[in-house]
Amino acid sequence: MTTIPSNGTTKNKPRLNHDGYSYIMDRSTSEKNYWQCIKYYSDRCHSRLHTCISTNAIVKPPSEHTCKVNGITLELRVFNEHVADRAFNTQEIPDTIIINCYKDISDPSIVRLPARDNIKRRIRMLRHNNQVVKDPNDPNFPSVPIQLTKTARKDQFLRCDTGPGDDRILIFASDEQVDVLQDTDEFLVDGTFKVVPDIFYQLYIIHGVFRDHAIPLIYALLRRKTKETYQHFIREILNIAPRWSPRAVMLDFEQASFGAFQAAFPNASLSGCYFH
Protein backbone atom coordinates (compact mmCIF):
# COMPACT_ATOMS: atom_id res chain seq x y z
CA MET A 1 0.00 0.00 0.00
CA THR A 2 1.20 3.50 -0.84
CA THR A 3 1.64 5.88 2.07
CA ILE A 4 1.17 9.58 1.37
CA PRO A 5 1.60 12.65 3.57
CA SER A 6 -0.99 15.33 3.98
CA ASN A 7 -0.16 18.43 1.94
CA GLY A 8 -1.66 21.30 3.89
CA THR A 9 -5.17 22.63 3.65
CA THR A 10 -7.54 24.10 1.09
CA LYS A 11 -10.40 26.25 2.37
CA ASN A 12 -9.64 24.94 5.87
CA LYS A 13 -9.99 21.32 4.75
CA PRO A 14 -7.04 18.89 4.76
CA ARG A 15 -5.54 18.41 1.30
CA LEU A 16 -3.33 15.70 -0.17
CA ASN A 17 -1.61 15.30 -3.53
CA HIS A 18 -1.26 11.96 -5.30
CA ASP A 19 -0.14 11.14 -8.86
CA GLY A 20 -0.50 14.74 -9.93
CA TYR A 21 -4.03 15.22 -8.61
CA SER A 22 -5.18 17.02 -5.47
CA TYR A 23 -7.88 15.83 -3.08
CA ILE A 24 -9.64 17.44 -0.15
CA MET A 25 -11.04 15.69 2.89
CA ASP A 26 -14.71 14.79 2.51
CA ARG A 27 -15.35 12.90 5.74
CA SER A 28 -13.76 10.55 8.27
CA THR A 29 -14.64 7.47 10.27
CA SER A 30 -12.75 5.84 13.11
CA GLU A 31 -10.64 3.90 10.57
CA LYS A 32 -10.62 5.78 7.26
CA ASN A 33 -10.37 9.21 5.69
CA TYR A 34 -12.47 9.76 2.57
CA TRP A 35 -11.06 12.16 -0.03
CA GLN A 36 -12.63 13.71 -3.11
CA CYS A 37 -11.04 15.39 -6.12
CA ILE A 38 -10.37 19.06 -5.49
CA LYS A 39 -12.30 19.77 -8.72
CA TYR A 40 -15.42 18.01 -7.46
CA TYR A 41 -17.44 21.23 -7.63
CA SER A 42 -15.72 23.17 -10.40
CA ASP A 43 -15.44 20.31 -12.93
CA ARG A 44 -17.88 17.83 -11.38
CA CYS A 45 -15.06 15.28 -11.05
CA HIS A 46 -16.18 12.44 -8.80
CA SER A 47 -12.81 10.71 -8.34
CA ARG A 48 -12.32 9.58 -4.73
CA LEU A 49 -9.79 7.65 -2.67
CA HIS A 50 -9.66 6.29 0.87
CA THR A 51 -6.73 6.31 3.30
CA CYS A 52 -6.14 4.57 6.62
CA ILE A 53 -6.19 7.01 9.53
CA SER A 54 -3.43 5.27 11.49
CA THR A 55 -0.93 4.73 8.65
CA ASN A 56 -1.94 7.21 5.91
CA ALA A 57 -1.79 4.28 3.48
CA ILE A 58 -4.14 4.28 0.51
CA VAL A 59 -6.64 1.49 1.15
CA LYS A 60 -8.82 2.25 -1.88
CA PRO A 61 -7.07 3.75 -4.94
CA PRO A 62 -8.61 6.71 -6.74
CA SER A 63 -11.33 6.16 -9.28
CA GLU A 64 -10.93 7.66 -12.76
CA HIS A 65 -10.74 11.44 -13.03
CA THR A 66 -12.96 13.36 -15.42
CA CYS A 67 -11.37 16.75 -14.74
CA LYS A 68 -8.88 18.14 -17.22
CA VAL A 69 -5.25 18.58 -16.23
CA ASN A 70 -2.73 19.78 -18.81
CA GLY A 71 0.74 18.29 -18.96
CA ILE A 72 2.57 21.19 -17.35
CA THR A 73 0.09 21.47 -14.48
CA LEU A 74 0.42 17.73 -13.88
CA GLU A 75 4.23 17.91 -13.86
CA LEU A 76 4.18 20.81 -11.42
CA ARG A 77 1.92 18.91 -9.04
CA VAL A 78 4.15 15.83 -9.25
CA PHE A 79 7.21 18.03 -8.63
CA ASN A 80 5.58 19.42 -5.48
CA GLU A 81 4.73 15.88 -4.32
CA HIS A 82 8.32 14.74 -4.81
CA VAL A 83 9.72 17.78 -3.01
CA ALA A 84 7.43 17.14 -0.04
CA ASP A 85 8.27 13.43 0.00
CA ARG A 86 12.02 14.06 0.05
CA ALA A 87 11.64 16.80 2.65
CA PHE A 88 9.77 14.41 4.96
CA ASN A 89 11.74 11.21 4.29
CA THR A 90 15.37 12.21 3.65
CA GLN A 91 18.03 14.34 5.30
CA GLU A 92 19.06 15.89 1.96
CA ILE A 93 19.82 19.60 1.96
CA PRO A 94 17.25 21.74 0.08
CA ASP A 95 19.54 22.26 -2.94
CA THR A 96 19.96 18.50 -3.35
CA ILE A 97 16.21 17.92 -3.09
CA ILE A 98 15.57 20.51 -5.81
CA ILE A 99 18.23 19.05 -8.13
CA ASN A 100 16.84 15.53 -7.73
CA CYS A 101 13.27 16.68 -8.37
CA TYR A 102 14.26 18.77 -11.40
CA LYS A 103 15.28 15.55 -13.17
CA ASP A 104 11.66 14.43 -13.53
CA ILE A 105 10.14 17.47 -15.24
CA SER A 106 10.45 19.15 -18.63
CA ASP A 107 12.02 22.54 -19.38
CA PRO A 108 8.63 24.23 -19.97
CA SER A 109 7.55 23.11 -16.50
CA ILE A 110 10.80 24.26 -14.87
CA VAL A 111 10.15 27.75 -16.22
CA ARG A 112 6.81 27.76 -14.37
CA LEU A 113 8.33 26.82 -11.01
CA PRO A 114 8.72 29.36 -8.19
CA ALA A 115 12.13 30.90 -7.60
CA ARG A 116 14.68 28.48 -6.17
CA ASP A 117 14.86 30.39 -2.87
CA ASN A 118 11.09 30.08 -2.49
CA ILE A 119 11.26 26.31 -3.03
CA LYS A 120 14.01 26.03 -0.41
CA ARG A 121 11.92 28.10 1.99
CA ARG A 122 9.00 25.71 1.45
CA ILE A 123 11.24 22.70 2.17
CA ARG A 124 12.41 24.26 5.44
CA MET A 125 8.81 25.04 6.38
CA LEU A 126 7.69 21.47 5.62
CA ARG A 127 10.44 20.09 7.81
CA HIS A 128 9.75 22.51 10.60
CA ASN A 129 6.06 21.65 10.57
CA ASN A 130 6.85 17.94 10.47
CA GLN A 131 9.45 18.31 13.24
CA VAL A 132 12.21 16.57 11.32
CA VAL A 133 15.00 15.98 13.81
CA LYS A 134 18.59 16.88 13.00
CA ASP A 135 21.36 14.38 13.68
CA PRO A 136 22.90 15.03 17.11
CA ASN A 137 26.57 16.00 17.15
CA ASP A 138 27.25 14.77 20.68
CA PRO A 139 27.08 11.05 21.61
CA ASN A 140 25.84 12.08 25.04
CA PHE A 141 22.53 13.44 23.74
CA PRO A 142 19.94 12.83 26.48
CA SER A 143 17.41 10.69 24.58
CA VAL A 144 16.09 9.73 21.16
CA PRO A 145 13.26 12.08 20.08
CA ILE A 146 9.90 10.36 20.49
CA GLN A 147 8.99 10.66 16.80
CA LEU A 148 12.02 8.52 15.91
CA THR A 149 11.13 5.73 18.32
CA LYS A 150 7.97 4.66 16.46
CA THR A 151 7.23 3.11 13.07
CA ALA A 152 4.94 4.77 10.52
CA ARG A 153 2.15 2.71 12.11
CA LYS A 154 3.03 4.18 15.53
CA ASP A 155 4.36 0.83 16.81
CA GLN A 156 7.45 0.73 19.00
CA PHE A 157 10.70 0.68 16.96
CA LEU A 158 13.43 1.77 19.38
CA ARG A 159 14.01 -1.25 21.62
CA CYS A 160 17.11 -0.25 23.53
CA ASP A 161 19.06 2.90 24.32
CA THR A 162 21.86 2.24 26.77
CA GLY A 163 22.09 5.97 27.44
CA PRO A 164 24.84 8.59 27.22
CA GLY A 165 28.37 7.22 27.30
CA ASP A 166 31.35 6.19 25.22
CA ASP A 167 29.87 2.79 24.35
CA ARG A 168 26.28 3.84 23.68
CA ILE A 169 24.10 1.32 21.83
CA LEU A 170 20.78 1.93 20.08
CA ILE A 171 18.76 -1.07 18.90
CA PHE A 172 15.76 -0.84 16.57
CA ALA A 173 13.21 -3.52 15.61
CA SER A 174 9.48 -3.68 15.00
CA ASP A 175 7.17 -6.09 16.83
CA GLU A 176 7.08 -8.31 13.73
CA GLN A 177 10.87 -8.34 13.46
CA VAL A 178 11.24 -9.38 17.10
CA ASP A 179 8.76 -12.22 16.55
CA VAL A 180 10.61 -13.48 13.47
CA LEU A 181 13.95 -13.19 15.30
CA GLN A 182 12.67 -15.66 17.90
CA ASP A 183 11.01 -17.97 15.38
CA THR A 184 13.98 -18.56 13.09
CA ASP A 185 17.43 -19.95 13.82
CA GLU A 186 19.68 -19.07 10.87
CA PHE A 187 21.22 -15.60 10.70
CA LEU A 188 23.51 -13.39 8.63
CA VAL A 189 25.27 -10.60 10.53
CA ASP A 190 27.26 -7.64 9.24
CA GLY A 191 28.11 -4.01 9.86
CA THR A 192 28.14 -1.05 7.50
CA PHE A 193 29.93 2.23 8.02
CA LYS A 194 28.91 4.67 5.28
CA VAL A 195 25.38 5.52 6.36
CA VAL A 196 25.78 6.16 10.08
CA PRO A 197 25.79 9.52 11.89
CA ASP A 198 29.27 10.78 12.73
CA ILE A 199 28.85 10.09 16.44
CA PHE A 200 28.48 6.32 15.81
CA TYR A 201 30.98 3.92 14.31
CA GLN A 202 28.73 1.46 12.50
CA LEU A 203 25.22 0.28 11.75
CA TYR A 204 25.13 -3.39 12.72
CA ILE A 205 22.38 -5.48 11.14
CA ILE A 206 21.13 -8.98 11.88
CA HIS A 207 19.32 -10.67 8.99
CA GLY A 208 17.29 -13.81 9.54
CA VAL A 209 16.70 -16.51 6.94
CA PHE A 210 12.92 -16.78 6.98
CA ARG A 211 10.95 -18.73 4.37
CA ASP A 212 14.06 -18.92 2.19
CA HIS A 213 14.58 -15.14 2.24
CA ALA A 214 17.12 -13.08 4.17
CA ILE A 215 15.26 -10.24 5.87
CA PRO A 216 16.61 -7.56 8.25
CA LEU A 217 15.47 -8.10 11.82
CA ILE A 218 17.70 -5.98 14.06
CA TYR A 219 19.33 -2.62 13.39
CA ALA A 220 21.88 -1.35 15.90
CA LEU A 221 23.98 1.79 16.07
CA LEU A 222 27.28 0.99 17.78
CA ARG A 223 30.08 3.35 18.79
CA ARG A 224 32.73 0.64 19.01
CA LYS A 225 33.61 -2.73 17.52
CA THR A 226 35.15 -4.45 20.53
CA LYS A 227 34.22 -7.87 21.85
CA GLU A 228 32.76 -6.21 24.94
CA THR A 229 30.51 -4.01 22.78
CA TYR A 230 29.23 -7.01 20.82
CA GLN A 231 28.64 -8.96 24.03
CA HIS A 232 26.66 -6.03 25.46
CA PHE A 233 24.72 -5.83 22.19
CA ILE A 234 23.83 -9.54 22.34
CA ARG A 235 22.72 -9.28 25.98
CA GLU A 236 20.41 -6.40 25.13
CA ILE A 237 18.86 -8.39 22.28
CA LEU A 238 18.22 -11.30 24.63
CA ASN A 239 16.42 -8.88 26.95
CA ILE A 240 14.23 -7.88 24.00
CA ALA A 241 13.82 -11.39 22.56
CA PRO A 242 14.50 -13.98 25.29
CA ARG A 243 13.70 -16.90 22.94
CA TRP A 244 16.40 -15.90 20.47
CA SER A 245 18.50 -19.04 19.98
CA PRO A 246 20.62 -19.12 16.81
CA ARG A 247 21.49 -22.49 15.29
CA ALA A 248 23.73 -21.04 12.56
CA VAL A 249 25.31 -17.61 12.21
CA MET A 250 27.26 -16.36 9.21
CA LEU A 251 29.39 -13.27 9.80
CA ASP A 252 32.63 -11.73 8.64
CA PHE A 253 36.02 -12.71 10.00
CA GLU A 254 36.19 -9.93 12.60
CA GLN A 255 37.54 -11.63 15.71
CA ALA A 256 35.63 -9.45 18.18
CA SER A 257 32.16 -10.23 16.81
CA PHE A 258 33.06 -13.87 16.15
CA GLY A 259 34.21 -14.29 19.75
CA ALA A 260 31.15 -12.57 21.19
CA PHE A 261 28.70 -14.81 19.30
CA GLN A 262 30.75 -17.90 20.14
CA ALA A 263 30.67 -17.06 23.84
CA ALA A 264 26.94 -16.29 23.85
CA PHE A 265 25.86 -19.27 21.73
CA PRO A 266 28.41 -22.07 22.21
CA ASN A 267 26.19 -24.63 20.47
CA ALA A 268 25.61 -22.51 17.37
CA SER A 269 27.47 -23.16 14.13
CA LEU A 270 29.48 -20.04 13.22
CA SER A 271 30.90 -19.51 9.75
CA GLY A 272 32.89 -16.67 8.26
CA CYS A 273 32.28 -15.08 4.88
CA TYR A 274 33.84 -12.17 3.00
CA PHE A 275 30.64 -11.52 1.01
CA HIS A 276 27.25 -12.23 2.57
Rounded CA-CA distance 187/147 in Å is 30
Q: In this structure, how many other beta carbons lie within 10 angstroms of the beta carbon of residue 167?
A: 14
Closest alpha carbon to 231 in 188, 174, 169 = 169
Q: Which residues contact 66 (CB under 8 A, 6 or more apart)?
A: 43, 44, 45, 46, 47
| 105-114 per-residue burial string, b: 16 or more CB within 10 A, e: under 16 | beeebeeebe
Encode pLDDT of 105-115 as tens digits. 888 888 889 99
Who has greater pLDDT, 103 or 208? Answer: 208
Q: In this structure, how many other beta carbons lie within 10 angstroms of the beta carbon of residue 73?
A: 13
Encode pLDDT of 127-137 as tens digits. 877 665 667 78
Encode pLDDT of 115-157 as tens digits. 999 999 999 988 877 665 667 788 888 888 877 888 877 789 9
In the chain the domains, ranked by start, together with CATH numbers, are 1-69 (2.20.25.240), 70-132 (no CATH), 146-272 (3.30.420)
CA-CA distances (angstroms) from residue 7 to 80, 157, 188, 239, 262? 9, 26, 40, 41, 51
Q: What percent of the chain has pLDDT over 90?
A: 49
Scanning 50-154, the segments in alpha helix (DSSP H) are 71-89, 94-102, 107-111, 116-130
Instruction: Look at residue 1 and tell me whether its pLDDT is greater than 50.
Output: no
Q: What is the pLDDT of residue 5?
A: 52
Who has greater pLDDT, 276 or 40? Answer: 40
Encode pLDDT of 67-93 as tens digits. 877 778 778 888 888 898 888 777 789
Burial class (CB in 10 A: 0-12, 13-18, 19+), 193: exposed
Q: What is the pLDDT of residue 78?
A: 82
Rounded CA-CA distance 124/180 in Å is 39
